[in-house]
Structure 1
């Protein structure tokens, strides 16, 4: 565990016992959650609240120095950690919020329907709009500052996917049969543009992190695959030192491309990148 997580020694010791590792996890499966709750004599939400400092320790915030942790909980009582991530260069829009990080972490692990989102700070309006894209947003509980809210309380009179005629809002990504790079791009959630885009970080021939594009009905909170990829690297205890190259896979008929965004980052980080187009099938 990092030096920022030493305050709750009973939690740290319990995690090390259950996981047989000193490395902070980016998720807990149902059995691990149940065992930890038994050891610590707490319920799932109390466990998530205690783990928030651990989630925030994944934060990379060179601009704001404001470290946010979030934990998404699904129906199976699995916990998925997330933290904010900020690019060191460029405008302030080059940032991923902790809530987005946790939700993508859950989606990438094919989580069940999310029931709770636990955060160490009140969610900003941008994040509330992003959360509203979830298919079950109306049933989601959001917890922060020791208070619990039904999500609709945090975004009254909301603008959501139904307002643009989307009948299948964000739920599970279609990853069941994903094996080739285009399969992950096809898993993008893009009901407003149908853009398919996925990014990969490689160490040799091994994929060490991946991401895909997620859209939002309000457009601006749509989730760049670059920021999600960098967050996934951090959640997996990896850094740019582990990355030998980046790859971007996009459908040849996409209405726009993330090539320039990745190219800018690759130049900044002095890492090679490869851009692939794939045909329709």
Structure 2
């Protein structure tokens, strides 16, 4: 993506409101309201101005194509996302910015998503993933100064309703999550019932976590490894900060992400621990 001049008024407002030099990966309702007042802009205009900041979280060593995405919920909270590629292996091992932003929102227990703002048109893969959202029919998508109702971008779609799923992807069940298996059980997997969660630790300190998100078309299902790496980046944490990775999975899962994590652990020279737990 071509370089642009820094939006200094925006950066100043963020620094004042967030009280940090670091770019925030999410903003609360109070923060977006105050920044919009300072900049005299709407929430959508704010998200559009923040897209270059979202794209700055991108890790794209293979494609060198840096994409940012921002999800907004009905409480006017803002959640950033960016694409992430593995340095080894094929490009199929990659996370798209839209997926990153959606998981960032869900991991923060975001309310119903209302808008998705992107700095490039969403690819078909992402459109299929977005279609898993419970409110996909009412979601608005913004890119290149154009606005679309999401169904316009995916006509004659194949979605959860086609397989009789009555509770598509919405807020993750994290309200009482305390132990690692609780986060694995929060996985959204109505098609295979798979429960998987990954964690990155420095000593006993949890740096980031992720869980599996499934899609009716299967291929856009969200690997917990790629989401975990994206969450580390969004939290301004490098792999140098990680001492070990942990994978927690239900003992009767129909498949495992163990090999995927082992491959990454070998590449990154980080230890990994695999745990299996019974259904309780």
The TM-score bracket by the shorter chain reads: over 0.9
Instruction: Report what 1:246 is aligned to.
Output: 245
Cα separation, 1, equivalents of 2:134 and 2:178 = 26
**CA–CA distance in structure 1, aligned partners of residues 19 and 260 of structure 2:** 39
TM-superposed CA distance for 1:63, in Å, is 0.3
Q: How does 1:116-265 map to 2 (within 5 A)?
A: 116-265=115-264
Deviation for aligned residue 1:5: 7.8
After TM superposition, give the deviation of residue 266 of structure 1 in Å. Answer: 0.1
Distance 1:19 1:234 in 2: 18
User: Deviations for 1:74-126, whole angstroms, at most 9, x for unmatched residues?
Assistant: 00000000000000000111000000000000000000000000000000000
| 1:247 match: secondary structure | strand
Alpha-carbon distance in 2 for matches of 1:62, 1:163: 37
Instruction: Provide the rounded CA distance (Å) in 1 between the counterparts of 2:175 and 2:16.
Output: 32
1:17 aligned counterpart, secondary structure: helix
Shift of 1:65: 0.3
The answer to whether the 8 A contact 1:5-1:12 is kept is no
Give the 3 Å change call, closer, same or farther, for CA 230–270 of structure 1 in structure 2.
same
The 1:143–1:166 alpha-carbon spacing in structure 2 relative to 1, beyond 3 Å, is same
Q: Hey, what's the Cα distance between the residues in 1 that align with 2:93 and 2:52?
A: 23
Matches within 5 A, 1:58-97: 58-97=57-96
- How far apart, CA to CA, are the structure 1 residues paired with 2:144 and 2:126? 16
SS at match of 1:122: coil
Q: Distance in 1 between matches of 2:161 and 2:20?
A: 45
List 4+ stretches of structure 1 deviating above 2 A: none
* Contact 1:5-1:54 within 8 A present in 2 as well: no
Change in 2 beyond 3 A, CA 1:242/1:118: same
Structure 2 residue ranges without an equivalent (≥5): none
TM-score by length of 2: 0.98
Unaligned runs of 5+ in 1: none
Whole-Å separation in 2 of the counterparts to 1:86 and 1:128? 19
RMSD: 0.8
Tell me how many residue pairs correspond in the alignment: 278
Confirm or deny: 8 A CA contact 1:72 1:116 kept in the other structure.
yes
Q: Could you say what secondary structure the match of 2:193 adopts?
A: coil
